Amino acid sequence: MPLSIKIVTTANRTRFFHQSDERQVSKSLALLAGVNPIFSASSLMLSSSLQTEVFSPRRIALIELEGAALLPRAPGPGDVRITAIDVEEAAPVIQLDDAAPATFRVDFYFVGGYVLSTQVDVDNTDVTFADRTRRVTQLFEVPQIWYKTAGNGVGLINPASMTRAVITPSGDTLPADALLVDDY
């Protein structure tokens, strides 16, 4: 089955690649979606019969893979599930009560201006909203962030290229080190 690869750089440039050779699809999946963080590699090279492109992984904001039998990988670290949304087609579900996993919107902003809108689900078993917020802020500390794409593929975010995350709605209880400011 063919594989579509989308790479968004910190220069806010998006490149699309397509792969149909089964052996190369398997090799690409192993490299891009493997256990070693792709963003800490020295380079990422994609080559066709027409040209070769070399990327600095540190300057990649995110990579999305769609179409092939993707590796079974839970999107997001731990009990955080991240799903990209198309904000023009659907708004995320907001669910903050204690009966179900907490569900809220998080917009990830990257160097260069790219924005990824997502719906985030966090297991809310025995945790406060401050704990859920802290889990989102800890995403800046991991080597890569897995998410489910809007097209049912998998994506990888480079946390080093993120500039901020906007969590909507805000909570009544925040981490102790949060700065409180006035609405504008």
With CA atoms as reference, report the closest residue to 139 among 85, 75, 94, 87: 75
| CA count, 13 A, side-chain hemisphere, 135 | 21
- Looking at residue 124, its pLDDT comes to 63
- 102-110 and 80-84: which strand pairing? unpaired
Residue 174 phi, psi dihedral angles, 5° rounding:
-120, 160
CA distance 28 to 19: 9
**This prediction's pTM:** 0.83
Measure the CA–CA gap between 61 and 68, rounded to whole angstroms: 22
Q: Give the model confidence (pLDDT) of 21-76 as tens digits.
A: 888 887 887 777 666 788 999 999 999 889 999 999 999 999 999 886 665 554 45
Could you state, in order of their start, the residue ranges of all structural domains in the chain?
3-168
Instruction: Say what the pLDDT of residue 74 is.
Output: 46
Helices of type H across the chain = 22-32, 129-137
pLDDT (tens digit, 9 = 90+) per residue, 138-147? 788 888 888 9
Residues 8/91/94/72 CA torsion (nearest 10 deg) = -50
CB 61 within 8 A of CB 8: yes
